[in-house]
Amino acid sequence: MTARLDLTADPVELTAALVDIPSVSEAEADLADSVEQALRRQAPHLEVVRNGDAVLARTNLGRGSRVVLAGHLDTVPINDNLPLRRTGSGDDEVLHGCGTVDMKGGDAVMLHVAAALTEPRHDLTFVFYDCEEIAAERNGLNRIERELPDWLAGDLAVVGEPSNASIEAGCQGTLRVEVRTRGRRAHTARAWMGDNAIHAAEPVLRRLTEYTPRQPEIDGLRFHEGLQAVRVEGGVAGNVVPDSCVVTVNHRFAPDTSLAEAETHVREVFDGFDVTVVDASQGALPGLSEPATAELVRAAGGDPVAKLGWTDVARFAARGLPAVNFGPGSPTLAHTREENVATGDIRHCADVLRRFLG
């Protein structure tokens, strides 16, 4: 039976209701059903469509600008952290459980705004999508972009990923490569007859430990790049000199660098080695000089910070929209068993968006 959501409730209570509907990636149907039914019943001012396990809603008021608000419905696998648990009270209350931070608090804020603002000063589009937490090619935004591209058009995108209830602008790009070394197999009792590929990877690791990452400043925000080994694979058996070794390296690069430039840089770092790119995503510039972004920053208060990671703001930036992350909770708690969000963060985000959009 589909759970009934009350979009007029306090966004804290709406968060709690969303969290108690499990929605691990590829199993979002129940939550998508609840969101769709709630929007159709309680927000008649919105056009609502269903696309797979994504739910989209928008106003069509003929305003001069449009703001897109996006949030994923899925979570990482549950880790003995459901159902929802609450601690504290009043302004000090905290919600604990899978998805509280990443990112059902943000979804609740957007659903609250969707129902509350019947006459916004910008046209609004709300995108609640599936499969963000797994392989990039499964991300529901890919399907929406193919099948309903006009639903992603606008003048500003706000992604409700956790950002400590402040503006995190832009995001870093990410590049993952495999650096391979080769050797020749031999019995370890006669190791001199072979060539150890794992030993040959030592210069790869040394270059990584000696690497100095850039820390560029973009739009007044400090980004911090990185180049890290994240996996080493090699070995045949306990008595065999291995003939192959692969070091997987992740490069996080600032958004003033293109994918092509990032790849060229990594290949230069590992000059002389066999390098294969296995995954790549472009970053997003902060766009703080854009009028709509600057207005949201003022509404949020405080100083914006650089997003030191990759989020779907990059997808919107690639479509020409300035985009920011703005949601309740600390990103450092995402994907952890201890995931939790302060209710004050949820209410602050809802207040800011109502003020900015209404």
Alpha carbon distances (Å) from 93 to 12, 29, 164, 329, 343: 10, 30, 16, 13, 6
Q: Which residue out of 28, 74, 168, 225 is catalytically annotated? A: 74
Using CA atoms, how far apart are residues 310 and 10, in angstroms rounded to an integer?
A: 30
The kind and range of the H/E element at 232 are: strand 226-234
From CA 300, how far away is CA 19, in angstroms rounded? Answer: 25
Query: Within 13 Å, how many C-alpha atoms sit on residue 124's CB side?
Result: 25
290 is an active site residue: no
Q: Identify whether 74 is a catalytic site residue.
A: yes
CA 274 to CA 129: how far, in whole Å? 38
Tokens of 57: 């809603």
CA distances (Å), origin 240, targets 165, 201, 232: 54, 17, 17
Structure token pair of residue 266: 């990594």
- Sequence-separated (6 or more) residues with CB below 8 Å from residue 45: 59, 118
Q: Which of 28, 36, 130, 132 is catalytic?
A: 132
Tell me how far apart the alpha carbons of residues 297 and 291 are, in angstroms, rounded to a whole number.
Answer: 10
In degrees and rounded to multiples of 5, residue 264 shows phi and psi of: -60, -40
**Where does residue 217 rank: exposed (0-12), middle (13-18), buried (19+ CB within 10 A)?**
exposed
Which active-site residues does the annotation give?
74, 132
